[in-house]
Amino acid sequence: MITQTPFRKIFEGAATRQQMFHMFDRHGQAPMSKARLTGRLYDGEWFEIGRSEHDYMFEILPPLWMRGDMFAMREFMTGSITSVFFALSIDGRIRHFHGYCDMLAKGSAERLRDVIVERESRPVRAMTRTERLDHIWSTTYADYRGYAGERWPECDQGARTITVYSGAKGTMLKLLDDLTEAEISAKLPVHLRYLPAAIAA
């Protein structure tokens, strides 16, 4: 039996083509763990893209399959994980999304579609703390993010780290999950800093 990885939004707003490809490689520095080798690090992640990005990906290769408002990429990320692209009507407007789904988990693409529609149909734009951290991770250049290595306590090894500015102490590495609200706010673009907290999708 395939265990379904929780779906999670990793970027706020519609990603440009450059941002889209940047997020395709967002776990490129991750330790060579089972989660990376099997694609579990990616499974369930999703974000919005523009129509031109959606159409561009459709034209690269014949899709693995097409089902109405979605298609799957023929080339797999790794294992049974591949990209699924969506063109969804939300509040009377067609919007486009990308997500990673496990093709061995029956109905995973349909479940992700339902999650996206529910999440993006909410009347108030908001972000959870996890979504804020994932947005920061998605938009930070590889030179300024990484993974805790052997010099970190054993319980933290393998966790995501990020460079932060700490005033008189200058820059320092910190666990992404340990960022304070002030540090999160400083790393978010201005238009996202004051969004209300959301219930996790």
- Interval 143-179: pLDDT, tens: 899 898 888 889 988 889 999 887 777 788 899 999 9
**Which stretches of the chain score pLDDT less than 70?**
1-5, 32-39, 198-201
> What pLDDT sits at residue 72?
94
Domain boundaries, the chain: 8-120, 129-193
Give the SS3 label for residue 14: strand
Left, alpha or beta for 39 (phi > 0: left; psi -120 to 50: alpha)? left
**What is residue 79's predicted lDDT score, i.e. its pLDDT?**
81
Residue 53: predicted pLDDT = 96
Q: Which string of b and e fits 103-133 if b means at least 16 CB within 10 Å?
A: bebeebbeebbebbbebbeeeeeebeebbbb
The predicted structure's pLDDT at residue 37: 61
pLDDT of residue 1: 42
Largest CA distance in the chain: 56
84-89: long-range pairs with CB below 8 Å, 24+:
84/109, 84/112, 85/49, 85/54, 85/57, 85/58, 86/112, 86/113, 86/116, 87/51, 87/54, 88/113, 88/116, 88/117, 88/120
pLDDT, position 27: 84
DSSP state, 27? T
